[in-house]
A and B are shown apart, each in its own frame.
Chain A
Amino acid sequence: MITSAIIPRPLARLPWRLIFLVAAIAGFGLLVLYSAAGGSAQPWAVKQAIIFTVFLGIAIAMSWISESTIKAITFPLYGATLLMLIGVEALGFVSKGAQRWLELGPIRLQPSEFMKPAIVLTLARFYELVPAGEIRKWRAIWPALLLLGVPAVLILVQPDLGTCIMVGLCGVTVMFLAGLPWWIFAGPAAAVAVAAPVAYSMLHGYQRKRIDVFLNPESDPLGAGYHISQSKIAIGSGGIWGKGFLQGSQSHLDYLPEGHTDFVFATMAEEWGLVGGVLLIIAFGLVIRWGMRVSNNARTRFSQLAAAGLSATIFFYVSINLMMVMGLAPVVGVPLPLVSFGGSAVMTVMLCLGLLMALERQQRTVSTIT
């Protein structure tokens, strides 16, 4: 908070440190996109700047929403998102092809993106309603599993494995923090280990191949392993200080595929090296730490669980993407929020941050009232 006589009180009360941090990450992202386009603001950097500015404005505006309003719209929001997911599925069925988005005029809406914050809020709200004494009972578990399972399956069959995993992890994080018994998490973890081969056989061909190649990328360096191999080459060849701005040969000569979207971190690391990569990871870490602090300082159970879940969403976004581009996880198509080109990841992360800012504001305003 900045306290100054000349800055109006509502502005001064904004969490400026977080906003600067997020703007710095996004600004750095714009530089990377500028370089990825061969040293040109077109076609990505300008568009991305506009998208970011719009969603930053929305996030700041959201910070004035009260916790009770958030609670009130949680279930309707969840219901609407679920309907849209079903709608996408139906549309895909009619047009006989996989589809992930709805066309609403000029805007392409991906309902699965909304599901990430929505599932966090819904589960937080659900566990707020469950009395403390009931938490270890079966009836505190199955509704949550249903609330989480239905959208997860709908997203998986789209097919969008990356988003499905993210939604699942966000939901499970909230359930974990809500205090469900250990066996609920340990049991399925063991079951997953056993069932992995079965699930593997049910995956789509391209998804299965991505996992095969993840386990051994060098087996197919010119085919499906190409993404991971080239990404590792870009990152590894950057060294400590990088090749320099606009000097990345991997991205500029198109050896690195998706260098402006999912693999933007490789584009960045090639030019900015280990130093740029570590700074970016630390910056994301600070954002997540800010969110976790909001959760720690929260006074209501809803805001505790929601703040932690929303921070976890950002955490999973960043860590899954980074593990993917550095060859620690299979390529599942998760972008790096705020840096990758594209609106949906920015939108999700800014919705999360907007909600977190709203919850943070409540902590301060509520304390002044009581």
Chain B
Amino acid sequence: MNQAKRFTSAHQSITFSRRMMLLGGAQVGVGALLIGRLGWLSIAQNAKYQLLSENNRVQLIPVPPRRGWIIDRNGKPIAINRASFRVDIIPQQLTDGPRVVATLTDLLKLPPDEVDRINRELEHSRGFQPVSVADNIPYEQYAAITVRLPELAGVAASRGFSRFYPGGSAVGQLVGYVGAASAAEYEKEDKNPLLLIPGVKIGKEGLEQSMESTLRGQPGGQRVEVTARGKLVKELDPKPDRSGGTVQLTIDADLHEYAARRIGDQSCSVVVLDVTNGDILAMPSMPSFNPNNFSDGISTNEWKMLSGDDHLPLVDKALESLYPSGSTIKPSMAMALLNAGIDRTQKVNCTGAFQLGNHTFHCDKRHGPVDMDAAVVHSCDVYFYSMCLRVGAEKLSPMIRSMGFGEKFDLPFDNQRYGTVPDPDWMLRKYHRKWQGYDTVNMSIGQGMVLINPLQLAVMASRLATGKRVVPRLLKNKPVVPQTQLAVDEDHLNFIHKAMWGVVDHGTAAAAKLPLDGIQMAGKTGTAQTHNLSASERGDYTSATWKLRDHSLFMAFVPFDKPRYAAAAIVEHGGFGAAVAAPLIRDTITFLYDKPKAIAALHSFEESIGGPLEERAARKTAVWRAANGLPPLPPTQV
């Protein structure tokens, strides 16, 4: 061994022991890291992981709560649950999938789309969660499956509940409808597992949607310990469910349905109020959809037919549609004039036309000299043109607003529209122009910028009737808003009551006298122009295209000497106010006092337009389907 080699040998040995120490140190370091990590997971993050582990172990099979009822003021059901039969498959218990599905397809006559859906859901489902096969099946099919259950392992035929609306399409716009939750709704509720259960429906529209939190109730559940593959290990103590709460409305279901049917084939909304407390007794909007058809999901064709209808069955006209008020504004205008100091005996000579600048405003006829009473009773426009110009818009608008036009009401519907009562300030803000004389002229007869919804018209009738600030309410459990006195003179009020009585007694609405002894109605007609038609076209309601005709309005209260009820109707493109809207209110009010008489009137009315509501709806559907090249529907099961 030479010197150099011995040196390197020693060098090598030093290197080895140095590197061994390094390696040993690294190993201890890794060991410390592992113990540190273990401590971090099991001490610092213990709570988090314990929760996750518990979430893994215990699953809740939700038991859907029964949806709460919607009832009318007398407890009559408006929306209830009806026993229905359904068939599900529990994948965990399914032994021979293809054969079972084939048998069910045969027994239930399932369409191919549905069979595909079932097979798809069976592939992706977790073992204990049922897959819906069919919902709302007739009893015969339910029975047929029940007797074959022993050979259909994994199939569960059960009785469930489906939503039922006895009033059908009459209550469509009021209650809305229910349906299975969409993917978006499921996400919005933080993936609430309840929404995935077959047969669970949530409110989609109207009261069903806005009162969802009350109606839904608390789901119960069977708490179970399950394996990762969805196999049930053991049942833990269950959590009881709580049915949804009942929602009581101020609606009188019979009156509501009567008004809905009395509307006939018009596109119209009627509102009836109890003036003593503001209760909405009826608020149908017709035509409407049948919410019973929606709860099982409606067909594309049905949807197409509804959304293509120019009578807007998908719009709640009572709250969402806005119309010019027309002459129904005149009693309130008269109150404003009286407040401004106009002498009601002073006469204006109506020549059938009114000149302002170089524009001529017309009246519907030549009334001659009229005082305020005659102007209201015969709806003379020229009187209001000239008197309102004399007083000025600044003194008119506040009175109109205090009577309810343009006012927002707290009702459980989220797409209400409130309309406008214009004034000079508003004109400047909105259109950046000065208020002109012709604006006052237009406003004086409820045209131009004046826009209202039917509920506001009914509120105006009730405030004129009482002189108090009547506030409408729909939910029985909401407190009645105390009625404060409006800034009107008792004497003026008595005068306007008499004038409105005159409208029905010997004025424009003389045809709408109540067929009742001792009960007299006070009211005001209105005809709202939608298009500029010539006088001759306007007079001929049969020839003008439906879309171009005027809206027909009427508001009223009864009895005129001791007001109890107020009502309003706006008939879209119905023509002259007295001709369509006034008789509709007459019959509806009659129903409040003398049901047999009102029902007789309804029968003769329905006969004249081609039978009851359901028959006409069925006929309309058949015509639409034929026009769109679709085969007729099979007769409906009852």
Contact = CB atoms under 8 A, between A and B. Distances in A.
Interface stretch (B41-49, B324-332, B350-358): B41-49
Interface string B4-34: 1100110110011101100110011011011
Given A254-B227, A274-B42, A319 B12 contact: no
B56 interface: yes
Contacts of A132: 5, 8-9, 11-12
Interface stretch (A49-57, A89-97, A232-240, A340-348): A232-240
A281 B45 CA distance: 20
Contacts of B227: 253-255
B34 A323 contact: yes
A255 B56 contact: yes
Contacts of B38: 235, 269, 274, 277-278, 281, 326
Contacts of B297: none
Contacts of B53: 233-234, 236-237, 249-250, 255
Residue picked from B20, B28, B39, B225, most chain A C-beta under 10 Å: B20
A10 interface: no
Contact of B42 (A250, A273, A315): A273
A276 to B, nearest CB: 10
Contacts of B307: none
B15 A278 contact: no
B183 to A, nearest CB: 18
B15 A328 contact: no
B226 interface: yes
Residue picked from B5, B30, B54, most chain A C-beta under 10 Å: B30
B547 interface: no
Contacts of A131: 5
B233 interface: yes
B228 A253 contact: yes
A86 B57 CA distance: 46
A254 B35 CA distance: 26
A323 B23 CA distance: 18
Contacts of A236: 41-42, 45-46, 48-50, 52-53
Contacts of B35: 277-278, 281
A44 to B, nearest CB: 18
A312 interface: yes
B109 interface: no
Contacts of A328: 33-34, 37
Contacts of A304: 16
Given A239-B50, A240-B43, A312-B23, A326 B37 contact: yes
B229 interface: yes
Residue picked from B23, B38, B227, most chain A C-beta under 10 Å: B38
B478 to A, nearest CB: 46
Contacts of A237: 46, 49-50, 52-54
A253 B225 contact: yes
Contacts of B8: 132-133, 135
Contacts of A288: 27
B42 A239 contact: yes
Contacts of B34: 281, 319, 322-323, 326, 328
Interface in B48-91: 48-50, 52-54, 56-57
A179 interface: yes
B185 to A, nearest CB: 22
Interface in A179-238: 179, 230, 232-238
A244 interface: no
Contacts of A240: 42-43, 46
B56 A292 contact: no
A255 B228 contact: yes
A296 interface: yes
Nearest to B24: A292
Interface in B187-232: 225-229
A177 B16 contact: yes
Given A132-B9, A253-B57, A253-B233, A239 B43 contact: yes
Given A132-B8, A176-B23, A249-B57, A254 B229 contact: yes
A254 B4 CA distance: 65
Nearest to A173: B23
B468 to A, nearest CB: 63
A28 to B, nearest CB: 16
A251 B261 CA distance: 66
A295 B16 CA distance: 10
Residue picked from B4, B11, B37, B225, most chain A C-beta under 10 Å: B37
A356 interface: no
B437 to A, nearest CB: 70
Contacts of B20: 177, 292, 295-296, 308
A281 B233 CA distance: 34
Residue picked from B5, B41, B228, most chain A C-beta under 10 Å: B41
Nearest to A274: B42
A308 B23 contact: yes
Interface string B527-542: 0000000000000000
Nearest to B26: A315
Contacts of B233: 253
B12 A274 contact: no
A76 interface: no
A135 B30 CA distance: 29
Given A179-B15, A253-B57, A295-B20, A233 B42 contact: no
B308 to A, nearest CB: 44
Nearest to B225: A253
A347 B48 CA distance: 38
A39 interface: no
Given A135-B12, A292-B20, A235 B228 contact: no
Given A132-B8, A236-B45, A292-B24, A250 B56 contact: yes
Interface in B335-370: none
Interface in B390-405: none
Nearest to B14: A179
B234 to A, nearest CB: 11
Contacts of A250: 53, 56
A285 interface: yes
Nearest to A133: B8
A304 B14 CA distance: 13
A249 B58 CA distance: 10
Interface string A336-369: 0000000000000000000000000000000000
Residue picked from A233, A239, A278, A304, most chain B C-beta under 10 Å: A233
Given A236-B42, A253-B228, A328-B33, A177 B19 contact: yes
Contacts of B31: 281, 285, 319
Nearest to B10: A132
23 contacts: A132-B12, A133-B8, A173-B23, A179-B12, A235-B41, A235-B42, A237-B52, A238-B42, A239-B43, A239-B46, A239-B50, A240-B46, A249-B53, A249-B57, A250-B56, A253-B228, A253-B233, A273-B42, A285-B27, A292-B20, A292-B24, A315-B30, A326-B34
Query: 3 closest A-B pairs (Cβ-Cβ)?
Result: A236-B49, A237-B53, A254-B228
Given A269-B38, A295-B20, 9 more contacts: A132-B9, A236-B41, A238-B42, A253-B233, A255-B227, A273-B42, A292-B20, A296-B20, A304-B16
Interface of A: 131-133, 135, 173, 176-179, 230, 232-240, 249-250, 253-255, 269, 273-274, 277-278, 281, 285, 288, 292, 295-296, 304, 308, 312, 315, 319, 322-323, 326-328
